[in-house]
């Protein structure tokens, strides 16, 4: 059985939350938001979890009660850079889930299906995607005429035609650890934001001739990220309704 580990991105300040606390420790029904992502990762079979922390990292460490490892991202240079900070943790064995600390609606059941799909299809990377009515702001999944995965492109870097795609990148993935590690070293900042984009690793791995695909979420709500107090209240309500 392949070892599954998880890297959770939790370094952001979350300016729009209008609070001094790091975003991921805002509570949802009394529990820090990031703990939901940790639970989901463990629910999918991850036996080790690493949090990439940055802003007020000591507060995150204080508030998280789960047994996790930590790495520090000292400056925010994009999602690819954040994951690269965890390179020692990633290693070259097994598989790596990459998740966000601010998507508390994601479930272990869904991540389990993502991992299962990844394994059955013998992919080196599988991105969790969703079909949404309004994809504004999201990275788009671009497929060929035969519906096979071509690439994931950031909203700011997408062409007019690519922006028509309603399949979006949730930012959550399962990677072959070794291929992720190699691809992280090949990332560049040649894009609209001048950042290291994690989705660029998909193209790097695909160009080597490996299988890369997207697994479509049944319920797009599960990838909802929390960026402000309104969204926090909304997510809290949805979790209570479960």
> What is the CATH number for 180?
3.90.550.10
Q: Under a CB-based contact definition with an 8 Å cutoff, are residues 101 and 24 in contact? A: yes
What φ, ψ does residue 155 adopt, rounded to 5°?
-50, -45
What is the predicted pLDDT for the residue at 2?
Answer: 84
What is the predicted pLDDT for the residue at 127?
Answer: 98
What is the predicted pLDDT for the residue at 192?
Answer: 87
Show the domain range for 230. Answer: 4-241
Q: What is the DSSP string of 11-49?
A: ----GGG-SSS-GGGSEETTEEHHHHHHHHHHHTT-SEE
* Active-site option among 16, 140, 143, 240: 16
10-residue mean pLDDT profile of the chain (242 residues): values are 93 92 95 98 98 97 97 95 98 97 98 98 98 95 96 94 97 98 96 92 97 97 95 96 92
Q: Under a CB-based contact definition with an 8 Å cutoff, are residues 91 and 175 in contact? A: no
Q: Annotated catalytic, 237?
A: no
Query: Given phi > 0 = left and psi -120 to 50 = alpha, else beta, which region is 137?
Result: left
Q: How many domains does the chain have?
A: 1
């Amino acid at each position: 059985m392949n070892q599954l580990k998880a890297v959770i991105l939790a370094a952001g300040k979350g300016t729009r939350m209008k609070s001094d606390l790091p975003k991921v420790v805002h509570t949802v029904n009394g529990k820090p938001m990031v703990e939901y992502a940790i639970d989901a990762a463990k629910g999918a079979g991850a036996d080790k979890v690493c949090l990439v922390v940055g802003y007020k990292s000591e507060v995150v460490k204080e508030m998280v009660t789960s047994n996790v490892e930590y790495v520090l991202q000292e400056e925010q240079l994009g999602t690819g850079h954040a994951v690269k900070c965890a390179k020692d943790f990633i290693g070259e064995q097994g598989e790596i889930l990459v998740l966000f600390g601010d998507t508390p609606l994601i479930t272990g059941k869904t991540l389990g299906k993502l991992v299962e799909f990844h394994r059955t299809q013998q992919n080196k990377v599988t991105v969790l995607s969703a079909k949404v009515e309004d994809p504004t702001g999201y990275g788009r999944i671009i497929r060929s005429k035969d519906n096979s995965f071509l690439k994931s492109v950031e909203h700011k870097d997408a062409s007019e035609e690519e922006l028509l795609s309603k399949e979006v990148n949730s930012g959550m993935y399962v990677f072959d650890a070794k291929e992720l590690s190699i691809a992280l070293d090949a990332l560049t900042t040649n894009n609209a934001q001048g950042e290291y984009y994690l989705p660029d690793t998909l193209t790097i791995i695909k160009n080597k001739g490996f299988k890369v695909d997207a697994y479509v979420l049944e319920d797009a709500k599960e990838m909802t990220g929390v960026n402000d107090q309104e969204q926090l209240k909304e997510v809290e309500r949805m979790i209570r309704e479960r």
